Amino acid sequence: MLEFLDQLVRTNSLQHVWHLHCVAMRSYGFDRLIYGYTKFATPNGIGELEDALFLTNHDPDYFNDFINGRMFLHAPLTRWVRDNQSGSCSWGTLWTRPDTLTAEELDVIAFNRQMGVTAGYTVAIPTSSPKSYALFALTGARGKSQADLDAIWEDHGREVEIICNLTHLKLSSLPIETKRTKLSKRQMEALEWVADGKSNQDVATIMGVSVPTIEKHLRLAREKLGAETTPQAVAKLTFLNQMYVRSDAEMLFLNENKG
């Protein structure tokens, strides 16, 4: 665990964090994972799928049907996460009680079993906002039954939950990439100046362009982010930790040109 924590603290790469987590979970018997996180949930759902972050090491065909096909919205464990918002749940707890499941939930379970996703645990991560949901779906390695995983959880479940929570905290502190189209550098720059309290005229002067050009940058930024207003666009980028973030190449350029 100490080696995992040391690497987790040191890395600033989302991909490396995910790799570390997959390796750690594999050591406990979970070899296929899904991580889902959104800060834009609504009272009746998770919000726009384009604003959520999903990470997985599942087969692409399975992931495409389950996530991109929105099948997960009808999964019994998704309902469990909405109802509980923290803790962990054995899939056997819900999957073996068909009288408590809807027809859609039974269809999801049948699909999972068909795809070799037969046993596992779901961990719900506590968040500070009612608009935020985060979870890990941990699928047991092929050949492991739910009883096998329940025995593992009895001995190591607390450790697994802690690792999941720490991984989430690290992931949520990094710039979150969603399926939204990325902003151009000029669109991002205009939004950052607006976030600093500058007027469109101020931003036009600073960036050396006309006010209509700034208005165009902001309009395109709003469209790409699915935001109705510029303040909403700024808030969305802030929630995603994308404000004032520079690429390695940009930082190298700035450092080389100091003074």
- Checking if the pLDDT of 253 tops 50, the result is no
Q: Are 45 and 79 in contact (CB under 8 A)?
A: no
Model pTM score: 0.80
> Which amino acid belongs to residue 53?
L
Maximum distance among all Cα pairs of the chain, rounded to whole angstroms: 71
Rounded to whole angstroms, the Cα distance separating 204 from 192 reads: 13
- Output the six-digit token pair for 183: 């902003």
Strand order through the sheet with 30-38: 53-56, 30-38, 133-140, 120-125, 87-90
- Checking if the pLDDT of 190 tops 80, the result is yes
Instruction: Give the model's pLDDT for residue 258.
Output: 37
Indicate the pLDDT class of residue 137, thresholds 50, 70 and 90.
very high
Rounded to whole angstroms, the Cα distance separating 203 from 190 reads: 7
- Checking if the pLDDT of 246 tops 70, the result is no
H or E stretch covering 188: helix 185-195
Instruction: Give the model's pLDDT for residue 51.
Output: 79
Of 180 and 13, the structure prediction assigns the larger pLDDT to 13
- Domains in the chain, please, with CATH? 2-173 (3.30.450.80), 185-256 (1.10.10.10)
Return the sign of the alpha-carbon dihedral for residues 80, 54, 230, 245.
positive
Instruction: Give the model's pLDDT for residue 239.
Output: 78
- Checking if the pLDDT of 247 tops 60, the result is no
Indicate the pLDDT class of residue 254, thresholds 50, 70 and 90.
very low
- Checking if the pLDDT of 196 tops 50, the result is yes
- Output the six-digit token pair for 9: 């603290």
- Checking if the pLDDT of 179 tops 80, the result is no
- Output the six-digit token pair for 30: 């979970």
Q: For residue 105, what are the CA distances in angstroms to 1, 49, 170?
A: 36, 20, 32
Q: Which has the minimum average pLDDT: 47-51, 115-119, 218-222?
A: 47-51
Closest CA to 75 of 49, 111, 47: 111
